[in-house]
Structures are given as C-alpha cells and as structure tokens.
Chains A and B, each alone.
Chain A
Amino acid sequence: RKEVEQDPGPFNVPEGATVAFNCTYSNSASQSFFWYRQDCRKEPKLLMSVYSSGNEDGRFTAQLNRASQYISLLIRDSKLSDSATYLCVAKRDFGNEKLTFGTGTRLTIIP
C-alpha cells in the first residue's frame, strides 16, 4: 500500500462547479500535510498547508481528518485556470524533513 494515495482521475468538471477530492495516508506518524498544484510539465507549487482545524484560502478549503487519516481539498466556483494536477503531500516532523507525495489527481475544468 502506498503511503499517500490519491484517485488519479481525471476529473472533468464544468466551469463554476464545486469539486472535491480526498487523499488518504497510511503512516500515522505523519504530522504536516500540504496540497501542491502542478501544471503540465512544470514544477509543483504550494497551494496550501492543511491544518487540523481546517483552513480556507479564497475558493479553496482543506480539511484534515486524523482519525480516518485522510485529507480533502474543496474547490468552489471552479475556473478554467484551476485545471492542473493536485498533489497531496504528507510530512513526518520531529527533525525528519522528508515529504511523501501522492501521485496526484488530474483536474480539467470544462468551459
């Protein structure tokens, strides 16, 4: 079983819709979580950190459920520019800086 698992998609969603995807992690020692966005043939860019209390950044909301070991990302009022691959990332802290990446969920927003 992969340490971080995501549905690879693709998710094809009409513009303006709300889309949500989840990510599960297997290592309970994971302490910090992030969502990165990666455009085709580009480097990953940090979208947002994920906090236990949940956090929102504009149209994006991230949630963490430690009991069930999953992370979610919600995108409201989706734009064409949201088309990308979204990478779920887990990190063990306490001196260990290594990140574990999911394979990504591909999202395409359709006009």
Chain B
Amino acid sequence: DGGITQSPKYLFRKEGQNVTLSCEQNLNHDAMYWYRQDPGQGLRLIYYSQIVNDFQKGDIAEGYSVSREKKESFPLTVTSAQKNPTAFYLCASSIRTVSSSNQPQHFGDGTRLSIL
C-alpha cells in the first residue's frame, strides 16, 4: 500500500537526550514536512523539504534538526535544546509541481513524544 509511515507511534525521552523520529513515504512525493501539534493549538510547521538534499526552517525550528538524503525519508531529530518537546509530531508529504494549486498534503499517523 502507498502511504506515509511514522515510527515509533509512542516515544519517551529523558531530559537532555536527543531522539529521532522516522518518516518514510512510498508515494514518490518530492515535498515532505514536519509539524508539531499541541493540545488546543493548530499544527505548527517545524521543517520542510521540497527536494532531496535541501530543507528549510518552518515557524518553530529551534531545537530540531532534519536531513533529506533520500526522497522517501525525512527523519526529525528532537535535540536537548528543545525545552518543551512533549507533543504530537506529524509528518506529511505532497506532490511538488510547477503549478501546485490544490495539491494537498497527506499525513502519517503521528508520533507522540513524552518526557520522562
């Protein structure tokens, strides 16, 4: 089946520890995204990548890092510099075309990160 796979579904982190969230897609989408969702808030963009080996900061990139070495993979590292990492993390992907109107993003089923 085509889709976006995030792992793990639940992740617990100790204070001061870096953790990496996995996101893989087999939709052949060029663009991939990481969002964070907190209770009562909308999705906030952390990082995005429109092409392999290139990525851009979103609105809340501090304390996070990403890589895009392969088209199908866009892992997110939550570093110890992120002081409030407890949240629901969502990865998404989309087609990127010259005329990209009405090309929606499709989401993985998320990773819940909690601090021990």
Which residues of A are in contact with B by a Cβ distance under 8 Å? 4, 8, 31-32, 34, 41-46, 49, 51, 87, 93, 95, 97-99, 101-104
Please state if A97 and B102 are interface contacts (CB–CB under 8 Å).
no
Please state if B90 and A44 are interface contacts (CB–CB under 8 Å).
yes
Main secondary structure of the interface of A (DSSP, over half): loop
Residues of A contacting B99 with CB < 8 Å?
A: 93
Known: A43-B90, A43-B107. 15 other contacts (CB 8 A): A32-B103, A42-B109, A44-B43, A46-B104, A49-B102, A51-B102, A93-B101, A95-B100, A97-B50, A97-B96, A98-B48, A101-B35, A101-B42, A103-B42, A104-B42
Digit string of B51-68 for contact with A (CB within 8 Å is 1, else 0)?
Answer: 000000010000000000
How far is B107's CA from A38's CA once the two chains are assembled, in angstroms?
11
How far is B43's CA from A45's CA once the two chains are assembled, in angstroms?
13
Residues of B contacting A93 with CB < 8 Å?
A: 99-101
Main secondary structure of the interface of B (DSSP, over half): loop
Interface size, chain B (Cβ < 8 Å): 27
Instruction: List residues 84-116 of chain B with CB under 8 A from any CB of chain A.
Output: 88, 90, 94, 96, 99-110
List 14 contacting pairs A-B, 8 Å CB cutoff, sorted by A.
Answer: A31-B101, A41-B88, A43-B108, A43-B110, A44-B90, A44-B107, A51-B102, A87-B43, A97-B31, A97-B48, A98-B48, A98-B58, A101-B35, A103-B42
Question: Chain A's nearest CB lies how many Å from the CB of B30?
Answer: 9
